[in-house]
Amino acid sequence: MNPGIDLQGSFIELLTSIGLPPGVAKAVWMPLPMLLMLVGATIGVLISVWLERKISAAAQQRIGPEYIGPLGVLAPVADGLKLLFKEDIVPGNADAALFTLGPILVVIPVFLSYLIVPFGQNLLISDLGIGVFLWISLSSIAPIGLLMAGYASNNKYSLLGGLRAAAQSISYEIPLALAVLAIAMMSNSLSTVDIVNQQSGLGILGWNVWRQPVGLILFWIAALAECERLPFDLPEAEEELVAGYQTEYAGMKFALFYLGSYVNLVLSALMVAILYLGGWDFPIPLNLIASWVGVSETNALFQVIAGAVGITMVLLKAYFFIFLAILLRWTVPRVRIDQLLDLGWKFLLPVGLVNLLLTAGLKLTFPIAFGG
């Protein structure tokens, strides 16, 4: 396997050649990808908010934002700026400390999970050994923040919303983890880079969708529930709970919740792309194209193009799933709380277990196709 471009290595090499000690060079490098990822995630959120508004409008035969920038692309920026300038209100009888801590606890783990999202062989912040499970464990911190926000607001709607969010997150984490477990079993690793590498080589045919179709559906349903997207947006069901745990929030604290929910959606879509659609893998293997054209794989230009194609592929696949989530939002009505828990515990959990068992059996019988 071709290692691809190594930005970190060449950057540190450049600094050490100037005369910096290697330790300092590494320290200079470290904040760069983190900052890039933070900015990238925020821009991803702005794009998905804009897409949400435009696609929602199209599904309802409207036009949507039109005059705020070309095609209304600046509408989410205007939303954010408005929230930034709004007064920061803490309700009189609320627990001020918990009230402030709630949104922070919701947002930070989501951003932290971007640590393991790869856009290429070396284009990620950190290739951790526990990889995907870091994401799953971090995503279970968010309900603590939601519960905290709901409890601290001193409002019955908020409390109910917080409790629902906690119940929903806990019950959908299990099918999510089971779906990921089946993937991890096939690729013999939890690292996201290893998972993608295991899928690459055969182009579109090698992707996990073909080996884990049930797992993909399972994962996507559970991920939608984790993100509190529309068929499962019970914690903030506006007809019953005003806005759930967000009821008492305004200004920047509300913006944090809003940002968190969209960052989480983008993250989930990215994870689907990585786990099931081969991450940065092009539908036709790039080295095959290189050999057709007659370019060496170590050619610098080819490497740069391959890297760019990889990033584009990840984003395309992720945004396809965001599009699907938005389309689902206008297609499927909200489920009741009992239907939600039924679906989680009585349908997704047994299906997830059977899927895991089947994967294990197939792995034993066909070790070539299912990662021996």
> Which residues of this protein are in contact with another protein, per CB under 8 A?
55, 57-63, 327-328, 330-332, 347
Give the nearer residue to another protein in terms of CB position, either 220 or 249.
220
Q: How far apart are CA 247 and CA 249, in angstroms?
A: 6
User: Among positive and negative, which fits the CA dihedral 362, 364, 365, 371?
Assistant: positive
Q: How far is the CB of 343 from another protein (least distance, A)?
A: 11
Find out whether 166 and 146 touch, Cβ atoms under 8 Å.
yes
Beta strands in the chain (DSSP E): none
User: CB of residue 64 vs another protein: minimum separation in angstroms?
Assistant: 9
Residue 229 contacts residue 329 (beta carbons within 8 Å): yes
* Closer residue to another protein, CB minimum distance, 284 or 332: 332
Chain position carrying tokens 């908010």: 49
- Kindly list the distances between the CA atom of residue 241 and the CA atoms of 37, 155, 238, 255, 294, in Å, as whole numbers in the listed order: 34, 10, 5, 19, 62
Identify which of residues 61 and 296 has a Cβ nearer to another protein in the complex: 61
Q: Among residues 7 and 324, whose Cβ is nearest to another protein? A: 324
Residue with tokens 């940002």: 259
| Nearest CB to another protein, comparing residues 312 and 331 | 331
* Whether 257 contacts 99, CB under 8 Å: no
Q: Collapsing DSSP states into helix, strand and coil, what is residue 278?
A: coil
Residue 207 tokens read as: 């992707």
Nearer to another protein, 17 or 60 (CB): 60
Quick one: 68 or 90, whose CB is closer to another protein?
Answer: 68
| Amino acid letter, residue 242 | V
Query: Cβ contacts of residue 43 below 8 Å, gap of 6+?
Result: none
Cβ(160)–Cβ(151) below 8 Å: no
CB of 358 to another protein, least distance (A): 14
Whether the Cβ atoms of residue 150 and residue 244 lie closer than 8 Å to each other: yes
**Distance of closest approach, residue 286 Cβ to another protein, in angstroms:** 31
Q: What is the CA radius of gyration of the chain?
A: 22
Specify the residue, 60 or 365, whose C-beta has the smaller distance to another protein.
Answer: 60
93: helix, coil or strand? coil
